[in-house]
Structure 1
Amino acid sequence: MSAVWSFYTVCESDVKFASCNTCNGKIPRGGSTSKCFNTTNLIRHLKNKHLAEYGEFSRLTAENEKKTTGAVRRQLTQTTIANTRSYERGSQKAKEITRKIIELIGLDDQPFSVVEDAGFRRLLSHLEPRYVLPGRKYFTDVALPELHQTVYSHVQHLLKEGVSSSLSFTSDIWSSDVSPVSMLSLTAHWIDSDFQLHKAVLHAQEFSGSHTAVALAATFEKMFQTWHIPKDKIHVILRDNARNMVKAMTDAGLPSLGCMAHTLQLAIHEAVLSQRSVSDIIAKGRRIVGHFRHSPLPYARLQSVQKQLGQPSKRLQQDVSTRWNSTYYMLHSLLEQKRVLGVYAADFELPATFTSSQWELIENMTTLLEPFEELTKEICSSTASAADVIPSVMVLKRILTKETAADHGVKTTKDTLLEAVTKRFADIEEEPLYSLATVIDPRYKDRFYSEGLKTKTHRLLLGLMTEAAQRDPNQEHEANNTGEPAEKVPRPGSLSSIFGEILAEETPQQAHTDSPTPSEMIIYLSVPPISRSASSLEYWKTNKERFPDLAKVARAYLSAPCTSVESERLFSAASNIVDEHRNRLMTEKAEMLLFIKKNLPTMLTNK
């Protein structure tokens, strides 16, 4: 408030004027509304008429300005000091920044030494000068265990709903190439009440010593005890086909199935890749690809030839002996560059070349293996389940029995491959986990079964439904329908076209049971399967009220994947954590980092 009001009073009769306390004169306030009022006329009146009062007014104004300036300066000083003072380590802001740094280390496979790197420290100093970056030891001994415990508690919370139904698991063993470390994994898969599929890594722990069945069985027992998972809630464990792993599951009393991708690998290697003519081609292919990958000059020449022939610049793909489809990709890439390689060989030296008959064999082999490559992609997807096994094997067998123009030169190989597939997957129809998963999948139902298997599966399904009804006898049944996306027209002879061919041959039949069948089972099996491109989980989410007992069975049997690829992907992450730059990382820290990397994204998504 201006000091001038020490000498004036607002007129009560008209607020547009102020009355001078010295001469009682009415002085206009300089406007017609309160927003326009000012003190200019009042100060001028004092200066012209009352010099003594004007001097007092000047003195009071100077004192007020001095007080105001002092207060502002003190406030600015306090603010400046606060802005330059470092955060206490226990402050909320410091904790948040530290948390983000350890999350970065876990999610992006960064070494703990990143907190000592000059560039990282300069970046943090620029973004937040008040933050004091703790040392490396603080992140390894304090920040990492704290974040691990937070994520661990989150996974525990998620598992509660999974244990209320049934849990499926995948497991695998990994050995590092850069340090003497072996790790055993355990990943849980389950479907919640809203038919959302969840996955969580429970263990990726050191497994030292001999990998015997006894040691494996004891370790699995301890893993499940750690998470308080009873055996009757374990639906199945997907594992590789190694004898020690198979025996360990049997000894521990754990239901298990072999990885379908591993079984396909064994069948193809046994029937195709081990043949002399094919192995010779593969050996030559590796030498040719190696010639271009190990030196920049040959590759530059190859690019030049590709450009001359008007073809896009492509690299030849190197195969990995443990992945049959990588060998397929290598042969396919060589076949794509057949003309380019011919022109290249005319001007430059190659370590090996193919004859015309070998080129023909490569073309026929890639055609023969194309459905297997397509199927491998499907079963290794995140949505594949145990329900895909029986239909996929049936389709493969039908493809291998069909005669085509591409059979020339590979007919014997094709027959041998059919024998290998039949042998390797001989027992899948006898495995209830497969047959029940297939019938409860609305894309397949019982359309891929023999008559005998239909009867057996219907009875097994009836028993499971009866158990589900007894657990919840008051369940209300409500009708519901679900729309289906349009099915794309598949390419003739492709995997999808054979699926459609088999489905078109089968017609819905009465469910085979010895007792009155629940109406929901009759209705479910009588309706044609949904499109293969549709989601079985979305179907059950929509129809869980219509088929409540079947939906309970679906939650358990559709949770099981058909491969252990999740564990293999886990150990791909492990190879990034335990690498040449961190080959001395303690196993305990590696386990924590791997656990955080795989489970933290789910936690952040749910926030």
Structure 2
Amino acid sequence: MANNKRNLNDLISQNDDMEVEEDSLSDTSQQSEVNQQTKRRRTGSKSGRSFCWKYFEPYPETMGIETKCKFPGCTTKYTWRGSTSNLKGHLKKIHKIVETTKPVQKPNNNPALDINLPLIKFIVTSNQSFNVVNDMVSTGFVNKPYQIPATTLKIEEQINKTYDKLFSRLKQMIQSAESVALAIHIWDIDDKECFGKTFMEVTCHWLTNDFKIHRILLCMTEFNSSISMADKYIEQIQEKWELTNYEFITTDFYAEAVFSEFSEFSNHKYIRNAFHFLESLLPTCLEQCLNVENQSILERIGEIKNKIDGIQDVIEILKEEEAQEKLSSLPGASIIFDIGKIIERKWSSIYFGLKYIVSMEQQINSLVSSWCSDKDDYVKSKGNDLKALLPDSLQFKILSKLSQIFEPLESVEEIMDNCDYLTINVMHSIFAKTVNGIKYRADNIKNKLESATGNNLEMNMIRTITDSIYNFLNTPNYFDVFFYTDTAADVGNVASLLDPRFKLTYSSKKAEKFVQKECEDFYSNQSKNTENSISDEKLPKRQNILVSDFFSDHGSANSTSNSNNMIDYNEANPQENSKEKASKELKSYLDLPQQQSSIDLYDWWKQYQGLYPGLAILARKYLAIPATAYSSKLSQNEHKENLKILLNTYKDSDIISKIVFLRHNKNYLDDLF
């Protein structure tokens, strides 16, 4: 303590030796200054220096150095003792200079803090140009305008930053997935202002280890529709996202024609768009009717098929304003609007076109008679064109029966127009039920005709058509016409088998053999198979009310089967071979009561994956495959309208693609910031 006190007195005495040529500034807190001098000593680095050293020189590296004021005419000098108090006092008193206070800023270690997330969300969801932000600020709509970027350039900069960050995160998630499915949709913007542009949309779908479903947009880009350019687009997407783990591809009609021949896809399973099934079912069934031996019936059926193929041309004429005005003035016009509303639907337009012209037979014939007798040559010509496309009276009767047979398609229509996202397992099961309904109706009509008396051409044709339709749809492999399949099993059947709601109703023995073999492979390679961990993400709520209603008659009592009756395959007999383990696992799963259609499929698998580890791996692979390359007609039309606005708002196609990307994947944004 004595030494410390002596050292302190020595330091105080040193402070008394300071030379001042002007009025010496007495510091009443010299002792405090001395105690802090070590902290305040300069090391020679420019960073952290007091503002005083702008006006004094030289900068003292050690104690005792004399420093002089640099102001012209000022001769004040100080001996450096470790404190700038005297220097500051001199500058304030003599030269009226004080230090400017600066706000303390914490270091920004997170670049995401530079991004105004609410602003980004507003831009990508509002379809407004960047200038609207400036307008909001200038009109006082924004309470704190200093929080808003002042220029459109800054806003675009934030869009780019947000895109890069989200892209990086989603890419990491995709690469962590064991298996993903792609959906490719190519569509047109039929708008004069947009010059009829074509766009390609690619989405990626997968299930995480804990059965969280992800559906993200990889890209939406303007597409050069020439087939020679298509491979370059896909190659660019593959390279950008480094896609190595996709196994299934769902395409729409156009994309299928463009991409199906490329070698990049040769090792992957195609899933034809659900639209293909709905649109092809009626004409494909009629195709089967052309195998009859009776030549006169064969010719008449061929004529009917031609009328079916020309339904779209009839509808195009009847949609015109002149036709609608004429039809609305005729008796029974109310059904025009009831049925006419659904003609525009994308799904199964052939069936709804057929139903429309059958229901409107009298009105349409009146329209044709009126047009054909019109004095105007153009109107008369249009009437003759429509007359040539329409069926004759006998064909109308046959088409009326076909309309009754294929009426179950309307139930599918409801689901697909209201459900935002459908997977192959659900759609395959819906198709199977729909086909069973069509078979039932065809069989009923056939049985009634067989018991009826008479043998005229009309009855024979109806009998032949209904019999052909029933026999074709009753074959086990009728789905092969509508879905691409691999050599092992039909993808739809496998997906239905792995769905505990439909496994006993809409699967097949072929699918069981395939699943059994896959389970065997799992157990034989169990030590090698390690699953990547994937983080949970916020997901949009799935819509499944109508799907549940559709299968209400197939749902069994809600069963939460006693887990004591099941085998824990992680603790199975080690002496059992992989085939025995796989067989027990599959049998235990199939012996479970079929679950109600209202259960959450992914919650069920999350709960039971520990009991069925081999099946769970397959479930994650097959239960995320999309059945359609695009969502419902409502959301698709909304998507098109939004894109039209963006095309008219922004000139830069790159910024448009990024805005669409952020909008579609906005559910992932909150987890980034």
Partner of 2:118: 100
Of 427, 440, 464, 2:498 maps to 440
* Contact 2:224–2:230 (CA under 8 A) maintained in structure 1: no
Structure 1 SS opposite 2:261 = helix
CA contact (8 A) 2:177 2:208 kept: no
**How far apart are 1:189 and its partner, in Å?**
0.9
Question: Which range moves more in the overlay, 542-551 or 138-147?
Answer: 138-147
Residue of structure 1 equivalent to 2:246: 234
| Native 8 Å contact 1:171 1:187 kept in 2 | yes
Q: TM-score, normalised by structure 1?
A: 0.61
One-letter code of the match for 1:207?
F
Distance 1:312 1:186, change over 3 A: closer
Equivalent residue, structure 2, for 1:600: 666
1:368 aligns with 2:384: no
Give the distance between the partners of 1:312 and 1:285, measured in 2 at CA: 12
Q: CA RMSD in A?
A: 5.1
Instruction: Spell out, residue by residue over 1:171-210, the C-alpha distance to the aligned partner (whole angstroms, 9 max, x if none).
Output: 1223443236443332111112331211111122343372
Residue 205 (structure 1) aligns with: 221
What residue identity is the alignment partner of 1:144?
I
Q: Secondary structure at the match of 2:503?
A: coil
8 Å CA contact 1:167–1:556 kept in 2: the answer is yes
Following the alignment from structure 2 to structure 1, what is the Cα–Cα distance between the partners of residues 551 and 338? Answer: 27
Indicate if the aligned counterparts of 1:217 and 1:249 stay in contact, CA closer than 8 A: no
Q: Where does residue 526 of structure 1 map in the other structure?
A: 591
Provide the C-alpha distance between the structure 1 equivalents of 2:235 and 2:149, rounded to a whole number of angstroms: 39
Matched-pair contact (CA < 8 Å) for 1:332–1:366: yes
Per the alignment, in what secondary structure is the counterpart of residue 275 of structure 1? helix
Does residue 323 (structure 1) correspond to residue 388 (structure 2)? The answer is: no
**In 2, are the aligned partners of 1:303 and 1:313 still within 8 Å (CA)?**
no
Q: Is contact 1:168-1:190 (8 Å) kept?
A: yes
Quickly say closer, same or farther: Cα 1:426–1:450, change in 2 above 3 A. same
Which aligned pairs between 1:402-413 and structure 2 lie closer than 5 A? 402=440, 403-405=443-445, 412-413=464-465
Cα–Cα, structure 1 residues 567 and 313, in superposed 2: closer, same or farther, change >3 Å?
Answer: closer
CA distances 1:423-464 after superposition (whole Å, capped 9, x unpaired)? 623764845444432322212336545545533442233324
Partner of residue 257, structure 1:
271
The offset of 1:168, in angstroms, is 1.6
Residue 560 of structure 1 aligns to a residue whose secondary structure is coil
CA deviation profile, 1:236-280 (whole Å, cap 9, x unmatched): 221235343112255564443322322432343455698244467
Which one-letter code corresponds to 1:205 in the other structure?
A: T
| Structure 2: distance between partners of 1:456 and 1:133 | 58
Asked if 2 retains the 8 angstrom alpha-carbon contact of 1:442 and 1:530, the reply is yes
Q: 2: distance between equivalents of 1:209 and 1:106?
A: 27
Alignment of 1:281-360 (within 5 A): 287-291=317-321, 316-317=340-341, 319-320=343-344, 323-329=346-352
Q: 1:462-507: per-residue Cα shift (whole Å, max 9, x none)?
A: 324544564259xxxxxxxxxxxxx99999xx8875x689xxxxxx
Match among 131, 135, 157 for residue 142 of structure 1: 157
Q: Write the letter of the residue equivalent to 2:159.
A: L
**Aligned-pair distance for 1:388?**
4.1
Q: Which residue, out of 422, 441, 452, partners 1:384?
A: 422
Assess if the C-alpha contact under 8 Å between 2:211 and 2:620 holds in 1. yes
| Letter paired with 1:185 | E
Deviation (angstroms), 1:592: 0.7
| SS of corresponding position for 1:168 | strand
Is the counterpart of residue 185 in structure 1 residue 250 in structure 2? no
Match of 2:301 in 1: none
1:280 and 1:488 map into 2 onto residues whose CA distance is 32
> Separation in 2 of the partners of 1:465 and 1:413?
50
For residues 359 and 479 of structure 2, what CA distance do their matches in structure 1 show?
Answer: 32
Is 1:455 equivalent to 2:523 in the alignment? no
- The offset of 1:523, in angstroms, is 1.2
Q: For 1:127-156, what per-residue CA distance to the aligned partner results, in whole angstroms no more than 9, with x for missing partners?
A: 437559767742663232133234324434
List alignment gaps of at least 5 residues for structure 2.
1-107, 288-303, 450-458, 532-544, 557-576
Aligned to 1:222: 236
Partners of 1:386 and 1:334 in 2: CA distance: 32
CA shift at 1:289, angstroms? 4.7
Q: How many residues align?
A: 472
Distance change >3 Å, CA 429–CA 542, structure 1 → 2: same
Distance 1:138 1:422, change over 3 A: closer
Q: Does 1:515 align with 2:579?
A: yes
Residues of 1 paired with 2:115 and 2:238: CA distance?
Answer: 35
1:546 lines up with 2:560 in the alignment: no
Q: Please give the per-residue CA displacement for 1:520-544, whole angstroms capped at 9, x wherever unaligned.
A: 3331122232123433212112212
The one-letter code sitting in structure 2 at the alignment partner of 1:592 is K
Q: Amino acid of the residue matched to residue 317 of structure 1?
A: K
Matched residue SS, 2:128: coil
Are 2:128 and 1:110 equivalent residues in the alignment?
yes
Q: Give secondary structure in 2 for the equivalent of 1:597.
A: helix
* CA contact 1:106–1:593 (8 Å) conserved in 2: yes
The aligned residue for residue 165 of structure 1 is: 178
Aligned amino acid, residue 440 of structure 1 = L
Secondary structure of 2:271's match?
A: strand
Q: How far does residue 598 in structure 1 lie from its aligned partner after superposition? A: 0.3
Which amino acid counterpart does residue 262 of structure 1 have in structure 2? H
Q: Indicate how the Cα distance of structure 1 residues 156 and 546 shifts in structure 2: closer, same or farther if over 3 A, else same.
A: same
- Tell me, yes or no, if structure 1 residue 152 matches structure 2 residue 217: no
Please give the alpha-carbon distance, in whole angstroms, between the structure 2 residues aligned to 1:135 and 1:304: 61
Is 1:268 aligned with 2:282? Answer: yes
Q: 1:444 to 1:270 in 2, by over 3 A?
A: closer
Shift of residue 389 of structure 1? 5.9
Cα gap change, 1:105 to 1:343, in 2 (>3 Å): farther
Match of 2:639 in 1: 573
- The alignment partner of 1:561 has SS state of coil
